[in-house]
Amino acid sequence: MVILNKIYTKTGDEGLTSLGDGSRISKNDIRVEAYGTIDEANSIIGIVRSYTKTSELIILDNFLSSIQNELFDLGAELSTPSQDENRKLSISKSQINRLEQEIDQLNINLNPLKSFVLPGGSAASSFLHLARTTIRRAERLMVQLSVKEKNSVSKESLAYVNRLSDLCFVAARYANQTERGGQGDVLWRPGKTKKE
């Protein structure tokens, strides 16, 4: 159990932070960037959830509740430099499988895409697109970390963030179809504003 009695410690005033194993590293280290970006994505999902309490979107709220907890676990995994395969808080194949099932469940009634989708539409959809792009950035940082420190990021964690960005995309489409009265996606119209 975590107990936080004092929020400021002054230990980071010189640009260093503590990792899960107690070691200290620079706040600009790729590891800190990776788990910080996961935290950023989690915060955006918190914003999304403020728009998914309606009966039409409660399915998204339930999915996102689990995801927020898993992102905290992933952040804990990334903040621990140990290469131990038996980390307590690590992403599992079953969590990846669940994301795939949720994607399929949301996607089943969506119209096939015939164009790229612009981020926008309803508030929930717009913030889901923001979460998606932030998760993609986290994925790129995690790949960089895994190259820098071999075996420092599990293959399950990389697969999880890849699938999570897919879920956010499909969830954004689902939110637009549900909240915009079937109007659906905001589609890209190539060259729409180009003048000859």
Which domains does the chain show, CATH number per domain?
Answer: 23-81+88-110+117-184 (1.20.1200.10)
Q: Which residues are CB-contacts of 71 (< 8 A; sequence separation ≥ 6)? A: 38, 39, 41, 42, 45
Q: How far is CA 137 from CA 41, 113, 169, in A?
A: 9, 24, 14
Cα gap 146→98, rounded to integer Å: 24
pLDDT tens per residue, range 81-110: 865 554 566 899 999 999 999 999 999 989
pLDDT at residue 152, rounded to an integer: 85
140-153 pLDDT tens trace: 999 999 999 887 89
pLDDT band at 179; cut points 50, 70, 90: confident
pTM attached to this predicted model: 0.87
Distance CA 160, CA 158 (A): 5
